Amino acid sequence: MSAKLFIAQRLSAFVLAFAVAIHLATILYAVRGGLTAAEVLGRTRGNGIFLAIYVVFVIAVAVHAPIGLRNVLREWTAWRGRSLDVALALFALLLLALGLRAAFAVYAV
Amino acid sequence: MIQRQNDKPLRVEVWRGTANGHFQRFDVPRRENQTVLDVVTEIQRAQDATLSYRFACRVGMCGSCAMVVNGRPRWTCRTRVAAVVGDGDALKLEPLRNFTVVKDLAVDMVAFFDKWRDAKGYFESGPQPAEDFAVVPPASPQRQAANEGIECIGCGVCYSACDVVAWDKDYLGPSALNRAWTLVNDVRDQAQAARMQAVSQGSGCLACHTHMSCTNFCPKHIAPTYAIAGLKRAMMRRALGGEA
Ligand code: SF4
Ligand code: SF4
Ligand code: FES
């Protein structure tokens, strides 16, 4: 792992600590009295703060997870070099695309 | 040495061979203040002269006598049998883990010390060595940090204990990284950029999982884990400052 990846992993972990806490707290708070899909969408649609938080969350995941997975693969398999880096860059893009798609789906009207 | 009459002999299982081999059983009388190294020596002198092992100082200074004793890496000259076997009488002796076995209990230390070199674990006076003695105040933070790791005897116990070494044969390992950290804190050294580069590469300090096995087993009570954490911080500072 290079110094840059290490720093990216630490910084994204820092962001995730907050994002995950907000995520879980919001879920617990929102479903206290039972909740329907329509009610959820009613709150998230057009909510800029909601969108901003989740975009940051998704970006942090897309940075953090592939770096960790790369370390695991390097330790447990013989996979090294460029093909590994390309594969994990693609994995990062996939996480980013899926995550952003989900966030926009509940934001857009 | 005084033989303890009432005790049953030790049942000692000793590794014989190289990577492929088997355990051989020896019965060794128990003696007062007996160390594990005493047991090995007694086997070699009285029972089987072909047993290979290594030692030099017998007082915990040279770092050549380390073995895996009942599953744990230890310096055998300063490990008393009584402390290891407890109430029992079984002793199991193996060569250090993560090293190539030369024969029986003797391992090849070359790869281990090559990593000291690769981590730039040696003093570099630079093209123009200082003309006068450097004044290093004993209380300065750097001197204190170097002090913490300076007493390493190169025994390989930490290297044997580290799982990351087992997974990644290129991992520089706790001992070499600890040595590098003492030099990072040597204000006279002229090769800091090159050293930080060496310890920051893929299988350098960033590969450490902070398991602390090294710190747990080091017979000199050195904490390579903290040295490695120091290297990570130094590396971050350099990377963020644009130096690395
Ligand atoms: S703290 Fe690091 S060097 Fe020490 S045993 Fe764990 S992984 Fe190995
Ligand atoms: S750090 Fe401790 S265990 Fe590791 S080689 Fe040095 S003295 Fe031995
Ligand atoms: S024989 Fe020298 S440290 Fe044990």
CATH 1.10.1060.10 domain range(s) in chain B: 109-239
- For the segment B39-63, what is each residue's pLDDT rounded down to a tens digit? 999 999 999 999 999 999 999 999 9
User: Per the structure, how many domains does chain A have?
Assistant: 1
Q: What is the CATH number of the domain that holds A100?
A: 1.20.1300
- pLDDT, residue A13, reads 97
Reference B202, options B169, B159, B166; nearest CA is B169
**Model pTM?**
0.88
Give the range of the structural domain holding residue A11, as residue numbers without chain letter. Answer: 2-108
CA distance A78 to chain B (A): 10
Query: Quick check: B243 pLDDT over 60?
Result: no
- Cα-to-centroid distance, B236 and ligand 2 (Å): 25
Lowest-pLDDT range of A34-48, B23-37, B146-160, B213-227: A34-48
- pLDDT, residue B244, reads 42
* Residue B99 burial (CB count, 10 A): 19
Minimal Cα distance from B234: which residue of A? A3
| Mutation test residue for ligand 3: of B39, B53, B75, B218, the one with most atoms within 8 Å of CB | B75
Using the Cβ of B240 and the Cβ atoms of chain A, whether some distance falls under 8 Å is answered with yes
Q: Considering chain B, what percentage of its residues have pLDDT values greater than 70?
A: 97
Domain boundaries B10-107, CATH class: alpha beta
Would the CB atoms of B239 and A7 count as touching at under 8 Å?
yes
Q: Domain spanning B109-239 has what CATH number? A: 1.10.1060.10
- pLDDT, residue B240, reads 84
- Give me the DSSP letters along B10-21: EEEEEEEESSSE
The SS3 of residue B28 is: strand
Name which residue sits closest to atom 1 of ligand 3, judged by CA. Answer: B58
Report the phi/psi class of residue B133: left, alpha or beta, with left for phi > 0 and alpha for psi in -120 to 50.
beta
- For the segment A18-71, what is each residue's pLDDT rounded down to a tens digit? 999 999 998 888 787 777 888 888 888 888 999 999 999 999 999 999 999 998
